[in-house]
Amino acid sequence: MAGPAALARRLVSEMKELEVDLEAFGSIFSTIQSSPFTVVEIDVASASTIAEQLGVPVRRCYISDETLQDRIAKTSVSAQEIISTKLPDRGSTMAGDFGEILTALFQAACEHPGEVLDPKKWRLKHDRTKPASGSDVVQMVLPHWPAASDEDRIICSEVKTKSTRGRSKPIEEAITDSDKDSSRRFVKTLNWLKERALDTGLSTVTVAQLDRFIHPIDHPTARREFRAVAVIAASLVAAELVGAVAPPTSERALIVISVPDLKANYELVYDAALVSADESEAVA
């Protein structure tokens, strides 16, 4: 049986299974405002490459290469058919999932070269047509694991996505729902993730790592970071920023991510995720 250190190394390695060059990916984001809250943007040229960059990684957020190959072998159906049972249909759930995945990758890029552990909650869905349960994005930073330290951090982000004109207020709604995270939902999400880890297992997070934050009194003081993130179509950002009020920085950070042609680009990403099935079948 592998010891804690070996297991930790394996888990960190598995976090890289998305095969995203985080340094290069992080470079597509430009910070255009840092106070009283952060606004970052992706330019048009970079946005045009998102589908090519993220098609396979997004598919891996829903089903790993190993699991996909196993299902192909056991069911004798096409990779595309299997993947289609995991991905959301076009519409609000697809938009929301994309916003969460983009946020998770953005945050991982911000931590690079440090590692983050992400349970990839999209793999745990019971219904592909609905959002994943609990807090949107939960990521752990454990620089000295398997030893707990006061440098440990856990990031909990509430993400709202707005890709078309409408009445939704993504900035305001992200702040409101992030407050739910910092009151009760975050703790409930950690316990739910622990149940999943005990049941089917999680590829990048162990029960011990979850317990490090579920039972903080038993470990050195860690930092909890709450974030409200709004992923918004670039054409709508200016209007959404009017009257935006940042929450106290001691409570949570507010981040706005501007993406050109957001709806068209996230749909292209999910189209590419399905096309990635062809590559999977080639090695099956």
In the predicted model, is pLDDT for residue 83 greater than 50?
A: yes
Is 111 domain-assigned?
yes
Rounded to whole angstroms, the Cα distance separating 94 from 34 reads: 29
Rounded to whole angstroms, the Cα distance separating 120 from 60 reads: 9
Res. 79 pLDDT band, cuts 50 70 90: very high
Model confidence pLDDT, tens digit, residues 210-248? 999 999 999 999 999 999 999 999 999 999 999 999 999
Is 206 domain-assigned?
yes
Is 284 domain-assigned?
no
Mean pLDDT over the full length of the chain: 91
Integer angstrom CA distances of residue 212 from 12, 104, 219: 17, 21, 7
Is 81 domain-assigned?
yes
Rounded to whole angstroms, the Cα distance separating 172 from 37 reads: 13
CB 101 within 8 A of CB 58: yes
Rounded to whole angstroms, the Cα distance separating 121 from 138 reads: 9
Is 85 domain-assigned?
yes
Is 207 domain-assigned?
yes
Rounded to whole angstroms, the Cα distance separating 15 from 212 reads: 19
Is 283 domain-assigned?
no
Rounded to whole angstroms, the Cα distance separating 267 from 117 reads: 27
Length of the chain: 284
- Residue 277 is predicted with a pLDDT of 64
Number of independent structural domains in the chain: 1
- For 123, the domain range is 4-278
Identify which has the larger pLDDT, 276 or 116: 116
- Write the DSSP assignment of 157-173 as a string of letters: EEEEEE-SSSS--HHHH
Res. 278 pLDDT band, cuts 50 70 90: low
Rounded to whole angstroms, the Cα distance separating 82 from 276 reads: 12
Is 31 domain-assigned?
yes
In the predicted model, is pLDDT for residue 8 greater than 50?
A: no
Amino acid at 196: R
**Of residues 267, 235, 266, the one with CA closest to residue 41:** 235
Model confidence pLDDT, tens digit, residues 23-53? 999 999 999 999 999 999 999 999 999 999 9
Q: What predicted TM-score, i.e. pTM, was given to this entire model?
A: 0.92
